[in-house]
Amino acid sequence: MTRRPHVAFVTLGCPKNEVDTSEMTARLTAADYVITDDTEAADVVVVNTCSFIREATEESIATVFSLLETTGSDTSRHVVVAGCMASRYGEDLRQSLPEAAAFVPVADEADLPHVIAQLTGEAAMPVTRPDTLLPVAQGPSAYLRVSDGCHRTCAYCTIPSIRGPYVSRTLDQVVRDARSLIDTGAKELVLIGQDITAWGRDIEGGPALADLLDELAALTGIAWIRLMYAQPDGVDARLLESMAAHPSVCHYLDMPLQHASSAVLRRMRRRGDATAYLEQLATIRTAMPDIVLRTTLIAGFPGETRADAALLERFVTDASFDYTGVFVYSPEEGTPAAVMPDQVPLRTRRARAQRLRDLADAVGFRRNESHVGAELEVLVEGRDPDEDVVIGRWRGQAPEVDGIVFLDRGQAGDIVTARIVDAAGYDLEGEVL
């Protein structure tokens, strides 16, 4: 029997890229290609790149060059550049990186089986119904994409130019994928999209995220449902009511605010200010007193004054988030912010970001320590081979971005009750009861 081409993936960037890789993997599997984790044994390595900010682009380029070095002069092995970097830079990338075998932008990822067929000379098996390809859970937690693209015009962001306008996946599509993920082992579904609170606005009849939550919570076999990327103007009373009503919905909300100064937010082309945000946070905590809150902030946006930076520092303390991601503003080519006057010097941006991180950590560490002595429900993810210890997450920890819980025992996929005996930074240590 002829050996079918082996394909390996290297995925960089955010969870949305992980979902893209999962979908590409499903298409290749249906086309009778062999998926491998061994990049050195693969005939084709697909790098699903990130290009959201300059540092992500640099990491993507470095990864591609590293893989090209391993292929050397072996013409039977190929490196394909897929994803956001291919979308953002297009023909310029082809000219600057001729060593890559092919470039597959986000919009063309469904064509990957045919691209690989051309490279390897091995015909791809036809996929007669690509719309029926179902996602498969790779562990006890799985990302569930509810939308793609973005309808916003934030001055610093490249996402609309990379992924296009906002498009909601239909209720049936989302529920179908959720059912498949649950059936293949997922205990937790993490809802993602550039703005999940905008879900349904482009669908006839105007369903809302709360309606989708009601449907997902009714599925048999799901233990946890988590919301990520919820823009503040979409977090309304109906959504909070739905979150509070369903035991499977984690009392956890990731709400990227980006800043607290009204002047900076207007230049960012965003709404809100410190007062409005603090009032909204109080409303959320009233609806769910045990809610765990995450946000992201940008330090050093063009025109940010010392007073703006000081206001943001006060807001970090007053808002008391459990987790805060802090980013140094990056002037991205093609965005309105990159050509704005009053660009803040890089050294100042970095210093302001570090102060924010220090303040946010001080708040977050205190909030994390408050769980010592509590009994928490923990999803076991498996054993850490480096530390030889069982690890998991409680409902207040999202995959990859928050802390973890170290446990004395447990099997991957189990949901256990653990008494928390210690805290270190954002991590916890628990004893399974």
Residue partners of 299: CB distance under 8 A and separation at least 6: 309, 312, 326, 327, 328, 329, 349, 352, 353, 356
Band the pLDDT of 321: cuts 50, 70, 90.
Answer: very high
In 3-state terms, what secondary structure has residue 127?
coil
Residue 1 lies in a domain: no
In 3-state terms, what secondary structure has residue 92?
helix
Last residue of one domain, picked from the residues 352, 369, 386: 369
Whether residue 264 is found in the same domain as residue 218: yes
Query: What tens digit of pLDDT does each residue of 343-364 get?
Result: 999 999 999 999 999 999 999 9
Query: What separation, in Å, do the N-terminal and C-terminal C-alpha atoms of the chain show?
Result: 52
Listed residue (250, 285, 255) closest to 379, CA to CA: 250
Query: What tens digit of pLDDT does each residue of 14-42 get?
Result: 888 888 888 888 888 888 888 888 888 88
DSSP 295: E
The answer to whether the beta carbons of residues 65 and 97 sit under 8 Å apart is no
Model's pTM, two decimal places?
0.88
Whether residue 113 is found in the same domain as residue 207: no
Q: Taking 60 as the threshold, does the pLDDT of residue 131 lie above it?
A: no
Last residue of one domain, picked from the residues 342, 369, 396: 369
Whether residue 407 is found in the same domain as residue 346: no
Q: The domain that contains 205 carries what CATH number?
A: 3.80.30.20
Q: The domain that contains 427 carries what CATH number?
A: 2.40.50.140
Question: Cα separation of 329 and 350, whole Å?
Answer: 9
Whether residue 334 is found in the same domain as residue 407: no
Whether residue 69 is found in the same domain as residue 46: yes
Band the pLDDT of 128: cuts 50, 70, 90.
Answer: very low
Band the pLDDT of 280: cuts 50, 70, 90.
Answer: very high
Residue 225 lies in a domain: yes
Rounded to an integer, the average pLDDT of 326-330 is 95
Q: What string of DSSP letters covers 174-237?
A: HHHHHHHHHHTT-SEEEEESTTGGGTTTTSTT---HHHHHHHHHTSTT--EEEE-S--GGG--H
The amino acid occupying position 246 is H
Residue 213 lies in a domain: yes
In 3-state terms, what secondary structure has residue 293?
strand
User: Any idea which residue has 């690989």 for tokens?
Assistant: 116
Whether residue 123 is found in the same domain as residue 26: yes
Whether residue 408 is found in the same domain as residue 286: no
Q: Is the dihedral of CA 214, 371, 394, 316 positive or negative?
A: positive
pLDDT at 159: 84
Whether residue 107 is found in the same domain as residue 164: no
pLDDT at 172: 93
Residue 313 lies in a domain: yes
Average pLDDT of the residues of the chain: 91
Residue 283 lies in a domain: yes
Whether residue 145 is found in the same domain as residue 113: no
Query: What tens digit of pLDDT does each residue of 391-413 get?
Result: 999 999 999 899 999 999 999 99
Q: Please state the domain count of the chain.
A: 3
Domain that holds residue 110: 6-131
Whether residue 306 is found in the same domain as residue 409: no
pLDDT at 429: 95
In 3-state terms, what secondary structure has residue 81?
strand
Band the pLDDT of 127: cuts 50, 70, 90.
Answer: low
Residue 233 lies in a domain: yes
Q: Taking 60 as the threshold, does the pLDDT of residue 376 lie above it?
A: yes
Query: What tens digit of pLDDT does each residue of 161-204 get?
Result: 888 889 999 999 999 999 999 999 999 999 999 899 999 999 98
Residue 61 lies in a domain: yes
Strand (E) or helix (H) holding 391: strand 389-394
Q: Taking 70 as the threshold, does the pLDDT of residue 129 lie above it?
A: no
Kindly give the pairing relationship between strand 405-407 and strand 427-432: parallel
- The lowest-confidence range among 68-77, 109-118, 276-285, 295-304 is 68-77
pLDDT at 340: 95
Whether residue 64 is found in the same domain as residue 77: yes
pLDDT at 1: 46
Listed residue (330, 338, 433) closest to 378, CA to CA: 433
Q: The domain that contains 30 carries what CATH number?
A: 3.40.50.12160
Residue 98 lies in a domain: yes
Last residue of one domain, picked from the residues 131, 165, 196: 131
Whether residue 221 is found in the same domain as residue 154: yes
Q: Which residues are 191's β-sheet partners?
A: 144, 227
